[in-house]
Structure 1
Amino acid sequence: MYPTLFSTPGVKDFAEAIDAERQRQLAKFGDQEHPDGTGGLTQSIEADKAREGCQAAFARGEGTWMHVLIEEVFEAFAEDDPAKLRAELLQVAAVCAAWIYDIDRRHDNA
C-alpha cells in the first residue's frame, strides 16, 4: 500500500493502521481542534505516581506493557509546553507500536 519507509520491525504495519484509523476518524468527525487540557498540578502528581508504579512493578519483576504505557500517557498529561507534550505523545505512540508488535509476534508464534 505504501512504499517501505520504516526500518523498525512492526512500524510500517503500525503506521498503516494508524493512517487507516485517522481516515475513519476524519470521515466520521472531520478535522477537529480541541485544547490540550494538560499540565495541571493533578496531572503532574499522577505522572509521578505512574512513574513510581512502573518502576516498582519492574523492580518486582512484574512490569507489563500497561505499566509502561500508563507512565508515558501520564507524563504527556503532565506537560503544558507544546514541544514537550508533542515529544511525550510520540513516546506514547512508540510504546503503542512496540506493544502492538509484541502482540502480533505472539499471535504469529501461537
Structure 2
Amino acid sequence: MIIKAFRMVVYPEQHKEYEKRHKELWPELRQMLKNHGVKKYFIFLDKETSHLFAYAEIESEELWEKISSTEINQKWWRYMESIMETNSDSSPTSVDLRQVFEL
C-alpha cells in the first residue's frame, strides 16, 4: 500500500459548500476511485487557513496517475472549480506533503 498526502485550498466563504458537495459525492466518481486502487481517502479542513489536508491509501502510483484523465474526474474538477483554488486545467492546486513520522 502507498500513502499519499497533499494540501489544497478552499475559498473561506465556501467551507460549507465544499463539505456539502463531498457528502453528496457522485456514485460514479466514488466507483472510479475504487476502480483505480484508492482504498481509503480522507480530506480534513483547517477552518483558520482554509487549507484542506488530503490523505489517501492507494494500490499503485500508476493507477493513481490515471485518475486525472478520466471523464468523471474532469467533470468533478470543473464542478469544484468555483469553490477552491485551481490550475488552468481546472485541477485543484495542490502541494504534495512528505511523511515525517509514523507510529
Q: Work out whether the TM-score is over 0.5.
A: no
Q: Please state which band the TM-score falls in when normalised by the shorter chain.
A: under 0.3
User: Which structure shows the higher helix fraction?
Assistant: 1
User: Which structure shows the higher strand fraction?
Assistant: 2
TM-score by length of 1: 0.25
Higher relative contact order (CA closer than 8 Å, sequence separation 6+): 2
